[in-house]
Amino acid sequence: MFAYDLDEPDIIQMLVKFGKRLRAVLDNAPLHTKPGAMEILAKQALVASAGSDNIKIGHFQRFAHDKVFIQKKSGVPVRVLTGSANWSVRGLYVQANNVLVFNDADTAGQYETAFEQSFSDMVGFAASEIAEGWVDLSQQPGLPKFSVAFSPHKSSDVSLDLVAQAIKNAKSSVLFAIMELSGAGPVISEVKSLAATSTNIFSYGVTQSLSGMSLYKPGATGGILTPFAFLAKNVPPPFDAETSGGPGQVIHDKFVVVDFDTDTPSVFTGSSNLSAGGEEQNGDNLLAITDPAVASIYAVQALGLVDHFYFRALQQTATQTAPMTLDATDQWWQNYYQEGTLKARERELFCKQAAAAPAPPPLRRAASGGGD
């Protein structure tokens, strides 16, 4: 296991049950070692159950930021779980995150190589073979075409150039959910530039800073900053089931989707924050996936996040006397038919997708007589 945040009680209890079958790399940044940090208790429990020789504590140059489980059977890696979600209460129940599971021995084997290098020599990781570049796993049967890059690298160009070039060469759309855009490097620069200046690419995304959410919607010259305030009154389903979650990041995703509507889309995701500093100083993994089905899934998630938090922003100012309503005389649809505008681009993009989609099967009533 690679773990950054580790405080979810059920996960810790399950890990303890593995005893000496568990080997782990745990982060020891100040966030996880200061008085009161739950990671202190988690570490003590795992050292007691697995033994100190099986628990590696460290942080590379900055953070041991991976969030990975590698399953082995008879000593052979067979499955790997990775993504942006930490093994924490906030990571699993509050934040927007994504997780991928690969049921493939070769993929799990590459992650084990990265684990062994981290476990035995964190200091030397950036100079190791596994950190030299993208590991191509495109030929694995039953899996989408994808590659993975393990950091830290000597230079962030090793991993980030591919992402930045994909954004720069986008033909139709760039959709994203990124924890924050305050870092440096080509990917962060391309995303910020695209959202502010693009005239022919449909860009849509969400990020978060200490001051609130930034929603990047078509036609905006920058992010629409909205506070994250818990909606507690006058809220319809499904928003009424939300909880405040306390202080901290809510958007924790790290993904970019390029040209989801084409035959050659790209999805970039993982534990990496897509910044130069992280790729050169953190233990992380970044995946590049080229698959229309996967791209569609991530595209829907990006759209849903922006629309969800945009609703929240509008709901903050709604009252019983001035509710969220659409004026019957409002010609809101006109902007979608003004040639050359991003609203028109949005209409064309999604109408094209609907027209290209296969016809759904005919509706059938369930055997019980309910629903369709």
Strands 99-102 and 76-83 come out as: antiparallel
Band of residue 355 on the pLDDT scale cut at 50, 70, 90: low
AA letter at 201 = I
pTM: 0.88
Say which CATH number the domain at 192 has: 3.30.870.10
- pLDDT number for residue 354: 56
Residue predicted with more confidence, 341 or 86: 86
Residue at 370 is within a domain: no
Residue at 166 is within a domain: yes
Band of residue 246 on the pLDDT scale cut at 50, 70, 90: low
C-alpha atoms less than 13 angstroms from C-alpha of 203 in its C-beta half-sphere = 25
Mean pLDDT to the nearest integer, 276-287? 97
Residue at 326 is within a domain: no
Residue at 362 is within a domain: no
Q: Is the confidence at residue 316, as pLDDT, over 80?
A: no
E strand spans, the chain: 2-3, 24-27, 55-58, 69-73, 76-83, 99-102, 135-136, 145-151, 173-178, 202-209, 212-216, 224-226, 254-258, 266-270, 284-290
- Cα(350)–Cα(261) distance, integer angstroms: 9
Condensed to tens digits (0 to 9), the pLDDT of residues 27-69 reads: 999 999 999 999 999 999 999 999 999 999 999 999 999 999 9
**Triad 133, 85, 136: Cα angle to 5°:** 25
| Nearest CA-CA partner of 1 in 90, 103, 88, 112 | 112
Band of residue 239 on the pLDDT scale cut at 50, 70, 90: low
Mean pLDDT to the nearest integer, 225-238? 63
Element (H, E) at 118: helix 105-120
Mean pLDDT score across all residues of the chain: 86
Residue predicted with more confidence, 355 or 256: 256
- Cα(346)–Cα(343) distance, integer angstroms: 5
Contact of 64 with 4, CB cutoff 8 Å: yes
What is the tally of structural domains in the chain?
Answer: 1
Domain that holds residue 9: 2-315
Contact of 156 with 131, CB cutoff 8 Å: no
Percent of the chain topping pLDDT 70 = 83
Strands 145-151 and 284-290 come out as: antiparallel
Q: Is the confidence at residue 180, as pLDDT, over 80?
A: yes
Mean pLDDT to the nearest integer, 175-191? 90
Q: Is the confidence at residue 368, as pLDDT, over 70?
A: no
Mean pLDDT to the nearest integer, 127-136? 97
Tokens, residue 313: 């922003």
Residue at 340 is within a domain: no
- Cα(206)–Cα(310) distance, integer angstroms: 10
Residue at 327 is within a domain: no
Band of residue 19 on the pLDDT scale cut at 50, 70, 90: very high
Tokens, residue 36: 């009161």
- Cα(360)–Cα(201) distance, integer angstroms: 29
Strands 254-258 and 266-270 come out as: antiparallel
| Nearest CA-CA partner of 254 in 207, 303, 204 | 207
AA letter at 99 = V
- pLDDT number for residue 366: 43
The two counts, helices (H) then strands (E), for the chain are 10, 15
Q: How many whole angstroms from its chain centre is CA 216? A: 17
Determine which of 24-33, 64-73, 336-345 has the lowest per-residue pLDDT on average: 336-345
Strands 145-151 and 135-136 come out as: antiparallel
Mean pLDDT to the nearest integer, 14-20? 98
- pLDDT number for residue 367: 40
Q: Is the confidence at residue 77, as pLDDT, over 90?
A: yes
Residue at 366 is within a domain: no
Residue at 205 is within a domain: yes
